[in-house]
Structure 1
Amino acid sequence: MAEQTRCAWVGADALYCAYHDEEWGVPERDSRMLWETLMLEGFQAGLSWITILRKREGFRVGFAGFDPDKVAAFGPDDVERLIGDPGIVRARAKIEATIRGAQIFCEMRDRGEDFAAYVWAFVNDTPITNDGLHFPASTGLSEVISKDLKKRGFKFVGPTIVYAWMQAIGMVNDHAASCFRRSELRA
C-alpha cells in the first residue's frame, strides 16, 4: 500500500505523523481539552510544536491532567515545582499564565459560560475550510479571538498562537490540498 500524502510540515517523525493523522484539525468540542490545547499552544511560543508534543505527557503530569479546578488552585510552591520539572517547558511566565488561564476558565464556567460554546461561536459552530494552498500565520478572525481572550485575562494568546490553536482544534481545516486528511475532515 502506498504511503498517504500528508501536509509538508509533518515530516517523518512517528509522533508527528500520529498527531497529524489523528488529532490536528479534528474538531474538538470538549471544553477542558480546548483549554488544555490553548495552554499548550501558549507554551509553544518561540519553540517548535514537536517540542511541546514530546513533552505533552510531562505537562499533563505537572499540571494535574489539565484539570482546571486543580490548576486554578496552584500556588507559589507549584510554580517553583514546575520550574524545576524537566518534563515541561520551564518558563515562569508561561506557567503562571496557565494557572491564571485555569482560573479564567473556572470563572467563565461558574458564570454559566461554557468554554466550548464560547470558542465555537466565533465560527457559528462550523469549521472553516481554507483553500489548502495558502497558510497564513494569523487571520482577521484569529486577531478578533486573540483580543477577546486577552480582554478576559488570558496570556500568550496572540493572533499567531490563536491561529495555530484554531488549526489544531479543527476550527480551521488547513490541511494541504494534497493531504489525505483534508477530504476526510470535510466529510
Structure 2
Amino acid sequence: MTILAPIVSLLATVVLFYGVGAKGLSRETAFWRTLRSVLPVVDDEAREAGFHTTYELSEREHVGVLDLGVDGAEELLTGLGGIPTLLAAHKTSPDGRPEVGSWGFFGYCPWFSRLSRPAQFALMLVAPKQLHIMLFERDDGRVDVYAHYEWSPYNPFVALWHLRGRGLDIDEGVRRARKKLGLCQS
C-alpha cells in the first residue's frame, strides 16, 4: 500500500486531467456520479487492504443548505474553482442519502479553472491539502453541503495519508466551506 498509493495518485491525476481528449474527465460530473455510485460494492475488499471506498459522514460535517438544485450547485462549485474528485470514498449522509457530488478545492481560488490543463495538472500534484465538499440532494430539491479538510489524494507525497484518513479536520473543512459558499452555521 505504501508504494501503491503514490502510483495510484499519479495515475488518477493523469486520468482526471487527460482521460478524454483535451477536456479530460474533470468536468464530466454525470460520469463521476455513476462511477462513484459503485464504490460501496467493493468496500469490503478495500477494507481488507487497509482503506475504504464508502462511509457515512457525521452531522458535524454539515455545512448548510444551498438554495440550488444539484446542477446549480455544481455550476457554483466550478465557478469557485472546484473540481469533481476521483480519489474519494463514496459518502452517505447521516440520514442515509447517497452523495450526488464530491468536489475538491486545492487552495488555488477561482482562477484555477482558467489555467491550462498542464498547469492545473502540475498544481494538483503539489497541493498538500484539499477542502472536500460533498453534495446531497434534499426532498425539496435543494442541496445539503458537507465538508472536511484533508490531505490531497492527488499529491503522491501525501496520498497514503489521504487514503488512510490521517489528518482529516472536520472543523476546518466546515469553516472553509461556509466561508467559500457564504453559508451561515445551520
* Higher RCO (CA < 8 A, seq sep 6+): 1
User: Radius of gyration: which is bigger?
Assistant: 1
> What TM-score do you get using the length of structure 1 for normalisation?
0.30
